[in-house]
Each structure stands twice: as structure tokens, then as C-alpha cells.
A and B are shown apart, each in its own frame.
Chain A
Amino acid sequence: MTALNKQVEDIDPPIDGEAAGQYLTFMLAGEEYGVEILKVQEIKGWDTATPIPNTPEHVLGVLNLRGAVVPIIDLRKRFDLEKMVYGPTTVVIVVKMNHEDQERTVGLVVDAVADVYRLEGNDIQPAPEMGAAVKTEYIRGLATVENKMVILLEIDKLVDFNSMDSNGVHPAEKVAAGAESETALAQ
């Protein structure tokens, strides 16, 4: 599966106008974001997740998705946006991301689902350099649809579970987590 995806990527490098395709967009704090629709597995309503202890704040926990245990990420927290009370439009977009040749299923909590657009290569422009302070690695590019800006996300680079040392982690936990990921890599 991952090999197949890789192949597809090889044929179709998603950089510089080659990112054409259909995008599912969603709202997050008034802005519209897009993810490649082929990466989306399903969209489901918000349901309380089981929290995992000692994890970064944006990892809300895990949910049972038809027998699979799937981590749930709050994108607002991931992007350091203002918190919002989950409402009736709050949904979980379940995406498949490839990380280190391993396919992972992850749920992203967003404010609301917006639309599906078909974008051509020349509709998309690379994200401008915004200095070191703003990370752009998980932004695939920017597109303009009906005079709105849509931020296209690079799903695979959105969450890196192995180097999670952002907020809310106990220092001892940090050491342990570092050791864990090291052993994981060694294996």
C-alpha cells in the first residue's frame, strides 16, 4: 500500500503545480484549509475520545473507528489557535497519512466541513517564505477559489508523532519519550 503510494508520488511529485486534483476543504477559525481528497477516509461527527496520558495537548486521545484505535488531533490546538467549544458542526476528518513508510489513520477535529474543489496545477502557488518563525513544511501551497484563499495542507507532514515535545509534556516524560522514539528507530 505504502509502496503504491510512493509510486504515485514518484509519478506525481506534489510540488510546483503538480498538486492538481480534488481537495476537501474545511473551516478552522475562519480560514479555509484543504486536504487532498484521496487522503480522506471518512468524515464523522465529534465523539468524546479516550485521553492518552502524558501526550501533547493537541492529541485529544483515541477513538474506536470500527475496531481500529485511531488518535484524534485537535487542529486548532495544533496550529495554536484559540480554543472553541465543540458544536454541532464540529467534525472529525479521518485521514490516512504516510509517515516513515508506515500508513497511519488519524482523525483531525475541525470546525466544519466546507466544500470540495477541483484544482488545476496553475491554481496552486507555493506558500511564501515567512521566516523561520513560521513553519511552512506542512503547507503544500495556497490556492485562490472564488476570491477566497484556501490553504492546502501536506497531510503527511502535519503531525509527527515521534518528535512530539510540544506543550504539556512533563520533562521526565520528554526524556522517556525521546528514549522511546530512539529505541523505536533502532528497531
Chain B
Amino acid sequence: MSLDQELDEIAQLFIEESMEGLAIMETGLLNLDLGAADPETMNSIFRAAHSIKGGGATFGYTDISEFAHHVETLLDEMRQGERPVTREGVDLTLQSVDCIRDMINDLGKGDVDTTRAKELEAELTVMLQSDAAPLKPEGVSSKPSANNSESGDWEIYYKPAKNSLKSNSDPLRMLQQLKQLGDLVVCSEGADDLKFGEYDSEECQLAWHLTLTGEVGRDEIEEVFAWKTDECELKLTLLSSDIVDTPPSTADSTKQSTTEEAASTDVTETPKKPPVKSAAKSSGGQENSSIRVNIAKVDALINLVGELVITQSMLSRFNSDFQSDQLEALREGLTQLSRNTRELQESVMAIRMLPISFAFSRFPRLVRDTGNALGKNVELKLTGENTELDKTVLEKIGDPLVHLVRNSLDHGLEMPEAREAAGKPATGVLELNAYHEGGNIIIEVIDDGAGINKERVLQKAREQGLVGADEQLSDDRINNLIFMAGFSTVDEISDLSGRGVGMDVVRRNIADLGGNVSVHSETGKGSKFTIKLPLTLAILDGQLVRVGKESYIIPLVSIVETIQTTADQVNELAGATELFKLREEYLPVLRLHKIFSLQADSVNINDGLLVVAEANGQRIGILVDDLLEQQQIVIKSLEANYRQTPGISGATILGDGTVALILDVPGLLQLFMERQNSASTPIAAAA
């Protein structure tokens, strides 16, 4: 076992490919119709398992390859039609997929836990033996057979194809692997008809007679050659166990001595030379994450760089001597440069973009398992799986999504009986939907369950003091109370179809990604959770606003609209809070200059502009002096050298080199509320 060695790049590739293979298996298994499996699906599952097995063996991850072998055996019987596709079989295979995934993840840590694999292996063996009675007697073909019966000592004739060295297969490696199976005596054979002038050093001219002693199964030998069967001539002959004498080494064994292989004539004696592992000295960066990029994206990038170089050379003409009549050409060149830059930026970003199906792919399984556990029938609908978003966002959105889906399954969808009683089909529908809207990505989790019990939520919120006793809230405000911190700990409410386990965590995670989440629910009809996320974390679209002498950036994702205010639209509430009437809604007015203690141009509300922003399902009007341009900004952390500042989420550097601060609308809202509280009741603020 070579698990202690550092992972080299190839092994990393194996891990990635295996992960993909496992994903294929999982998807395939979930799509299988019990009883009447689609042969194509079955084949793709089998192929994936086979590649994992082969890859595992090649890289010396014997634990994985052995375990995968058992899975493969089961799958092969199903594929061949020798075994019906049963629910138990599929479940067991799914568990095995999980187990292999865990084992592969463990590879990174260098220590593979095989206990689970052993358990499942036992289960697989039981299943294979119990109702086995395979319809066909035995795998007699050269395919890896399910049967281990053929074992003993072997005589093997191995002749690699002439071009096999070019395809990067190393016969020596094969011999070393065989040696691990038992005692190996090697006898090499050169090509007889080789003429000196015709010799091509890149061709493999050798063949070997091998004698392998020890109780070795045919399938074990075949496994070694699993990936090479089409590249070599292979003859296996079973010797009876008592014939152990070695074939005499032939005279021509040393004739062909130019290549390294000749040195390995006696592999049994030669200390193991590790040609495979020579590449393994790369630093053992375990969390070496990588992404697979569509070649078209890379090509587009290269084209753009080409254009950029052309533009640059065009502009550098002006560098040496510039006449004023060239101004127009210069301007044109600069326009082109800015276009190139923007396109380049977009395509570099596109490299980080991955389809959301990476995050969605786990849900068929999750919904199936959770549905089974809860005794609910659930149909999962996925739409917009090809919507692309930033890799970092993608990785971080997984957990909140799982939470929301679990929540919908657990508390949203009713039991089949209850559904039928309510006149709905017994099978509940859970829909995951992703699409682009403006510069954002929207992910929706929709269920057709019972919806949120508003009375109960409101009552709980009042009990907990989150909402004042007399406060009247809109339906959406009530629904969004479930995201409030402190609401999550209440267990009783989840029994009553009100939601609320850890929803504030969901909201916080999404807020960390610069997005927001809201819920819309109708009693008896279901709920819809909407997650709004920026496409990428590093760059955001921002609106520059001015207050006094200072400029701030409000993320466009938070802005609903911007309006010119008139005094008659503004009412003052109890002398403390100003309310602005926007159509049918009253919005509290947040005066940025007050919150930030700045000198504004004018404190008269008529002179300012009101930026209507939304955070946590609540809208607020932010009063600013002026709107400046909109632009894409690169986010710089303020915490790196300073600390978190309430109301500020970060900073950016503007075109003129100055720093502008990015407003954090939810934080600002919180700050505003605290100010309001402290203004009216100072004691409450202290408490």
C-alpha cells in the first residue's frame, strides 16, 4: 500500500475522475427503474465503477480497488441481466458509492478507514451469494469474472504491443504489480527477427514468460492488466499447484538489453524500483482544489489576450510622438482597450463559473433518502441546472440549500394522507430552480406543502419579544421572521408546520456571500424560498452615491429603486422616525449623513435622493445627496488591516486612486434600528 506517499498530480487526477465517476454512478442509480433497468444507464454505472477499480489498482489504492471490485461484480450481474435490479441492490450500491467517496476523501489525509468498506463488503458478499444463482454458469470470458474459483499458480505470457511505451504504459509496472500478488519468476524474450538497422528504441520489442506462484485468482491477474488488454498479448495458463519449477531462462533473455526492462529480468531479487512514484515528489498540497475548464473558454481567453496585445501595440504608437490630430485615434484606441479589458475580465470570471448542477446534483439522493425516512412521497423537479455561478459561491451555497430543502421536506410537505385529505396529490413536489436576473443569480426552493403557519409564527415572535405586542406586520414580514436569530431554537413550532431550525444560519451564510434570502408562503399552497446571490464574490456592481464630500458604494443587488422625494411624501412618526410613502408602502428614511455623522449638502429632504434598498425582506429609504455613476468594483477587505465596521462591508479603490467604502445594507439597517431605539429609550439600548 502506498497511501503514505504524497499524492502526486496523477493521483489527484484519479481522485477527481473517481469523484466524477461516483457522481455518474449516483445519478445513474437514482434514475434506474426498478425491475426494468435501462441498459445504457446500467452500462454507464458499470463503466464508472470499473474505472474507479482500475484507477485504484493502478495507483496502489488497493483498499478502494478491492472494494470497488465487489460493487462492480454486483453491477455486472445486474448489467448482464443475471440479477434483477432490486431496491435493496440499488440501496446497497448507493451506500457503497458513499463509502468509496469517503475512502477517496480519506486518501488526501493519507489514512483510509476501511471499517465501513468491510461491513459493506460483507453485505455485498451476502447478497452475491444468497440469491445469486446466476443464470449463466460462470464468467468464462476474459472479462473480470465474478467468480474467484480459478486460483492457483499461473503461467503468463505477456507481450506488450510495440507502441505501448508511447502510450505511457510501463511493462515494468505490470510486473511489479504481479509480484505483489505472489512469487514471480520472470523470463524475458527478445524479438527474434529484429535487425539492427530497423530497431526503433521507442518501440517495445520484449515479451515475458512469467510464472506466478501463490494462490492467485484469475481475476486478480486480469485486474493488473485491466487497462492494457487492448495493448498487449496476454495468455494465462493455470498450472496445478504442485508445478512450481521455473522455466529455464532462455539464452536470448539478455540479448535485448538496451532498455530498462532488461534489468528487471529478475524482479524477485531486484529491490523495488519505483518508476511510477518518481513523479510523486510534488509537495503534498492536499487541498489542491482545481477546476475543469471547458476548452472553449480557454480559447476565448487566448483570443482576447491576442486582441489586447494588438490594442496595446496600437496605443504604444502614441507613446513616442504624439500629435494633437491623433487625438481621435487615441480615443478610439482607449475605447478599444476598455472593451478588451471588460471582455477579458468577463472571460476570466467565466473560468471560475460552474453550472449550478454541481450543487444540485446531491439533491435527488437527499430528497429520496429524506423522503423515505419521513415516509413522504416527494417528486423533485430541477430546472436551470446549467445556470453558471462562481465556484466559491457554488461551494458555499451547498449547505444553506441543503438546509432549505431538508426544511421543506420536513416541515413544508405534508404526509401523503394529509395531502389527500387537503385535496392535493399524495406525491408532494419540491422544485429547485435557478436562473439569472440582472447581475444576480436567483435560486428558488419551492414546495407545494402546507405553507407557513403565520399566526403561530407571529405568536412565537411576540412571546420572544422579537415583535412588539401591538405591532402589525405584513404577511411577508411575518414569514421572514423565521430567519430571525433566536427564532431557530424553538422546537415546538416545527411540529406545527411553522419552520425554524437554523434558518438564521441559512440567512447568515447567504449574507456572507453578499446575497439575501426571503420567503413567500401561502397557507395550504406551499412556500417559496428565494435566494438572491451575486454572480461572483470578488467583483460587484455598485452604485456610487455622494453624501457631503464623501462617496459610498451601495451594492446594486440591494437597491430596489431610486427616487426623487418631495416633502409631502414624508411624514414624521412620533418625532423620531421619518416615513416615506412609496406607492402603498411606508418606508423608514435612513439619513446616511446622520448615521455616519457627516456634513451633508443639505438636510432638507427635498434636495436629496432616496435610494430604496432591501435587506432581510425589509425595505428602507437611504437619503443621499447625489447619485454618481454605476460601476463594477473590486472588493477589498477592510478587516485585513483594520476591523469590521458596522454598516460597512468593505472598501474599493476608485479610478482616481482614492478609497471608497462599500455600504452593508443589512448592517446599516441594524445600526439604524439601534439608533432609533437609543434615541427613544436610552435604557433599552443599554440593556
A105 touches B643 (CB 8 A): no
Whether a CB of chain A sits under 8 angstroms from the CB of B636 is: yes
Contacts known (A51-B550, A64-B653); A69 close to B645, Cβ less than 8 A: no
The one of A54, A55, A162, A172 that contacts B685, using a Cβ cutoff of 8 Å: A172
Q: A69 to B643, Cβ gap below 8 A?
A: no
A71 and B642 contacting across the interface, CB-CB below 8 Å: yes
Is B217 engaged at the interface, CB distance under 8 Å to the other chain? no
Docked complex: B630-654 residues within 8 A CB-CB of A: 636-638, 640-648, 651, 653
Taking a contact as CB atoms under 8 Å apart, the answer to whether B658 and A54 are in contact is no
Q: Within the assembled complex, what's the spacing in Å between the Cα atoms of A71 and B658?
A: 13
> When chains A and B are docked, how far (Å) is the Cα of A176 from the Cα of B646?
7
Quick check: is B674 within 8 A (CB to CB) of the other chain?
yes
B663 and chain A: residue at smallest CB distance:
A53
A64–B642 CA distance with the chains assembled, in angstroms = 13
Bits for A36-73, please: 1 = Cβ < 8 Å to B, else 0: 00000000000001111111000101111001111100
Shortest beta-carbon distance from B340 to chain A in Å: 21
Check A71 against B641 for contact (C-beta < 8 Å).
yes
A residues in contact with B636, CB < 8 Å: 67-69
CB atoms of B598 and A53 under 8 A apart: yes
Q: Which of A68, A70, A164 has the most CB of B within 10 A?
A: A68
B181 at interface, CB cutoff 8 A: no
Cβ A62 vs Cβ B646 within 8 A: no
Could you say which residues of chain B place their CB within 8 Å of the CB of A173? 646, 671
In the complex, how many residues of chain B place their beta carbon closer than 8 angstroms to a beta carbon of chain A?
33
- Contact string, B655-687, partner A, CB cutoff 8 A, digits 1/0? 001111100000000110011011000100110
The answer to whether the Cβ of A171 comes within 8 Å of any Cβ in the partner chain is yes
| Contacting residues, chain A, for B597 (C-beta < 8 A) | 53-54, 170
Say which residue of B596, B640, B658, B678 sits within 8 Å of A171 (CB atoms): B678
Residues of A within 8 A of B686 (CB): 171, 175
B263 interfacial contact with A, CB 8 Å? no
- Of A61, A69, A177, the contact of B646 (CB 8 Å cutoff): A177
Q: Is A184 an interface residue (CB 8 A)?
A: yes
Asked whether B640 lies within 8 Å of A68 as measured between CB atoms, the reply is yes
Evaluate contact between A64 and B659: CB separation under 8 angstroms.
yes
Q: Which residues of A contact B677 (CB under 8 A)?
A: 172
B645 touching A67 by the CB < 8 A rule? no
- The answer, among B550, B644, B653, B678, for a CB contact under 8 Å with A180, is B644
> Could you give, for residues 522-534 of chain B, a 1 whenever the CB lies within 8 Å of some chain A CB and a 0 otherwise?
0000000000000
Given the contacts A50-B550, A53-B595, A175 and B641 also touching, CB distance less than 8 Å = no
Q: How far is the CA of A180 from the CA of B670 in the complex (A)?
A: 12
Q: How far is the CB of B491 from chain A (nearest CB, A)?
A: 24
Asked whether any CB of chain B lies closer than 8 Å to the CB of A106, the reply is yes
Q: Contact: B640 with A161, CB < 8 Å?
A: no
Is A6's CB within 8 Å of the partner chain B?
A: no
Chain A contacts for B685, CB-based, 8 A:
171-172, 175
Residue on A with the closest CB to B685?
A: A172
Q: Is A89 an interface residue (CB 8 A)?
A: no
Chain A, interface residues (CB within 8 Å), range: 20 to 34
Residues of A within 8 A of B660 (CB): 50
* CB nearest neighbor in B for A51: B550
CB distance from B599 to the nearest CB of A (A): 11
A177→B640 CA distance, assembly (Å): 17
Q: Which of A63, A64, A170, A184 has the most CB of B within 10 A?
A: A64
Q: A7 in the interface, Cβ–Cβ < 8 Å?
A: no
Q: Is the CB of B642 within 8 A of A50?
A: no
A166 to B51, CA, bound (A): 65
Per-position binary interface string of chain B over residues 547-587, scored 1 when its CB falls under 8 Å from any chain A CB and 0 otherwise: 00010000000000000000000000000000000000000
A181 touches B (CB below 8 Å):
yes
Q: Which of B637, B674, B675, B682 contacts A69 (CB 8 A)?
A: B637
Q: Taking A69-B651, A171-B685 as contacts, is the C-beta distance between A50 and B641 under 8 angstroms?
A: no
Q: What is the CA–CA distance of A91 and B648 in the complex, to the nearest angstrom?
A: 27
- Whether A157 sits at the interface, judged by CB under 8 Å, is no
Closest to B653 in A: A64
CB distance from B584 to the nearest CB of A (A): 31
Chain B interface, >50% SS class: mixed
Q: Does A104 contact B (CB under 8 A)?
A: yes
Q: How far is the CA of A53 from the CA of B685 in the complex (A)?
A: 20
* Cross-chain contact B638 with A172 (CB below 8 angstroms): no
CA distance A134 to B685 in the complex (A): 32
CB-contact partner of A55 in B595, B645, B659, B671, under 8 A: B645
Chain A residues within an 8 Å CB radius of B598: 53
Contact B641 A172 (CB under 8 A): no
Task: From known contacts A67-B653, A171-B685, infer whether A54 and B645 are also in contact, taking CB-CB under 8 Å.
Answer: yes
Closest to B682 in A: A171
B641–A176 touching, CB < 8 Å: no
Quote the shortest CB–CB distance from A26 to chain B (angstroms). Answer: 20
Residues of chain B lying within 8 A (CB to CB) of residue A176: 646, 670-671, 674
**How many angstroms between the C-alpha atoms of A181 and B642 in the bound complex?**
12
- Residues of B within 8 Å of A63, CB to CB, are 659
Complex CA distance for A68 and B657, rounded to whole angstroms: 11
Residues B114-163 near A (CB distance < 8 A): none
Query: A106 to B638, alpha carbons, bound, how many Å?
Result: 12
Q: Of A54, A68, A177, which one neighbours B641 at CB under 8 angstroms?
A: A68
Given the known interface contacts A50-B550, A54-B646, A175-B685, the answer about A62 and B674 at a Cβ–Cβ threshold of 8 Å is no
In the assembled complex, how far is the CB of residue A178 from the closest CB belonging to chain B, in whole angstroms? 11
B-side contacts of A61, CB under 8 Å: 659
Question: In the complex, A28→B336 CA distance in Å?
Answer: 50
How near does chain B come to A64, taking the closest CB pair, in angstroms?
5
Chain A min CB distance to B676 (Å)? 9
Question: Shortest distance in angstroms between B542's beta carbon and chain A's nearest beta carbon?
Answer: 15
Contact with A along B608-650 (1 / 0, CB 8 A): 0000000000000000000000000000111011111111100
Q: In the docked arrangement, what's the CA distance between A105 and B638, Å?
A: 11
* Docked pose: A91 CA to B242 CA in angstroms: 92
Within A134-187, the residues touching B (CB, 8 Å) are: 161-162, 164, 170-173, 175-177, 180-181, 184
Give CA–CA (A54, B642) in the complex, Å: 13
| Structural contact, A180 and B658, CB atoms closer than 8 A | no
Is the Cβ of B661 less than 8 Å from the Cβ of A70?
no
Chain B neighbourhood of A104, CB < 8 A: 640-642
Q: Which residues of chain B come closer than 8 Å to A172, judged between CB atoms?
A: 671, 674-675, 677-678, 685
Task: Name A65's closest neighbour in chain B (CB-CB).
Answer: B641
Among A49, A67, A69, A181: residue with most chain B CB under 10 A: A69
Residue of B nearest to A176 (CB): B646
Q: Which residues of chain B are near A162, meaning CB under 8 Å? A: 643
Chain B contacts of A50 at CB under 8 A? 550, 651, 658-661
A25 to B648, CA, bound (A): 35
Closest to B671 in A: A176
**Contact, CB under 8 Å: A69 / B641:** yes
B244 → chain A closest CB, angstroms: 59
Contacting residues, chain A, for B657 (C-beta < 8 A): 64
B678 surroundings in chain A (CB, below 8 A): 171-172
Q: How far is the CA of A106 from the CA of B660 in the complex (A)?
A: 17
Please, which residue of chain B has its CB at the minimum distance from the CB of A67?
B653
Question: Are A70 and B641 also in contact (CB < 8 A) when A64-B653, A180-B646 are?
Answer: yes
* A-B complex: 5 closest residue pairs judged by Cβ atoms: A53-B596, A161-B643, A50-B659, A71-B642, A172-B678
Q: List 13 A-B contacts (CB under 8 A).
A: A52-B645, A54-B645, A61-B659, A64-B657, A67-B653, A69-B651, A70-B641, A71-B642, A105-B641, A164-B643, A172-B677, A172-B685, A184-B644
**Apart from A64-B658, A171-B685, A172-B685, what 5 extra A-B contacts exist at CB < 8 Å?**
A54-B596, A104-B642, A106-B641, A175-B685, A180-B646
